Amino acid sequence: MKLNEEYWHRILNLYGKNYNKNIRLLKEFLKSNRGYIFEKPIDETVIILCSGGMDSTILIDLVINNWNSKVIIIYFKRDAKNEEWEEKAVDYFFEFYRARYPNNIVDLLKLKVQIPLRINKEYLDRNRQKILGLPMRNSTMWNNTVAQAVYLSGKYKTTIRTILIGSVKDDRDNPESGPLSLLSQTINTCICTAIWNWQVYSPLLDDSFKKGGFSKIDLIKYAQENDIPIEKTRSCFEKTETPCGKCLACENRIKAFSEYKNSLLTD
Ligand SMILES: [Zn+2]
């Protein structure tokens, strides 16, 4: 049976009903077990998950600029339609940041893992996908990244406990990448590895860099002010080199750019 989009919207709304309360509870849980929710990884080695999109790409600059973190970039070759163009963007910015911050960019690691597995995918309800995304897509990447953090801690003889994700304020209600999923992934990781210092987090969501956090427009502004060529980032989900202009990623990007232009006119 195929359910319509409205049905999945209702599910999403139900999920969001106790959102703020659940965030508070998860924060309290972390606080009572380790005394903090997030510690800025100043001078520490961190992993940043980069998709080649605007948000995660600009996050790299913010993290190094503000915290002098040593950064390992991880990109998942997850067999997505737009992989060729995502990977091109990731390669470009790896070189770009390596030239800008030679002492901070440690490595770019590409992990070839099909996410989610295509087995039985023909049965996926596309309406569900449109509203809720691919089931456990981000969480699967985050789990794989935790394992890499453990291995890479050995490789680089340091402790890597921070995995940074480029979620912005616009992602708040997204079950896959919003603050609730990040907190629950942090807790899940701490419990399943028996170590309480893990943090899977997006510092764009809180006051870490800027009071009130970052929306997509704030990121565009930051990129302009800091000479980051965001036109080289890739968001579109489709296979074509030229962005389709229609998918959700394109929609969000186009909206953010036009709002940014409007904000310049009214300034
Ligand atoms: Zn598109």
Q: Which CATH number fits domain 5-213: 3.30.70.2740, 3.30.43.10, 3.90.1150.10, 3.40.50.620?
A: 3.40.50.620
Cα–Cα distances (Å) from 73 to 59, 92, 163, 171, 197, in that order, read 11, 12, 10, 21, 20
Please report the sign of the dihedral spanned by the C-alpha atoms of residue 267, residue 261, residue 214, residue 62: negative
Supply the pLDDT for residue 201: 97
How far is ligand 1, taken at its centre, from the CA of residue 242, in Å?
Answer: 8
Q: How many whole angstroms from 195 Cα to the centroid of ligand 1?
A: 40
pLDDT computed for residue 32 by the predictor: 98
Give residue limits of the domains in the chain: 5-213
pTM metric for this prediction: 0.95
- More reliable by pLDDT, 3 or 258: 258
- What integer pLDDT is reported at residue 192 of this predicted model? 98
User: With contact defined as beta carbons under 8 Å apart, do 165 and 202 qualify?
Assistant: yes
DSSP assignment of 17-63 equals TTHHHHHHHHHHHHHHHHS-S----TT-EEEEE--SSHHHHHHHHHH
- Sheet of 45-49, strand order: 105-112, 70-77, 45-49, 162-164, 199-201
Token representation of residue 37: 């929710």
Residue-level pLDDT at 173: 81
If you average pLDDT over residues 2-29, what whole number do you get?
93
- In whole angstroms, give the CA distance from residue 61 to residue 107: 15
CA of 245 to the centre of ligand 1 (A): 5
Residue 172 binned pLDDT confidence (cut-offs 50, 70, 90): confident
Confidence of residue 264 (pLDDT cuts 50, 70, 90): confident
How much is the pLDDT for 107? 98
Helix (H, G, I), strand (E, B) or coil at 176: coil
Residue 13, burial from CB neighbour count under 10 angstroms (0-12, 13-18, 19+): exposed
Q: Is the pLDDT of residue 1 over 80?
A: no
pLDDT band with cut points at 50, 70 and 90 for residue 267: low
Q: At what angle do helices 19-34 and 179-193 cross, to 10 degrees?
A: 30
Distance 224 CA to ligand 1 centre (A): 23
- Residue 83 has φ and ψ, to the nearest 5°, of -55, -45
Q: Which helix (H) or strand (E) holds 108?
A: strand 105-112
Gap from CA of 218 to ligand 1 centroid (Å) = 21
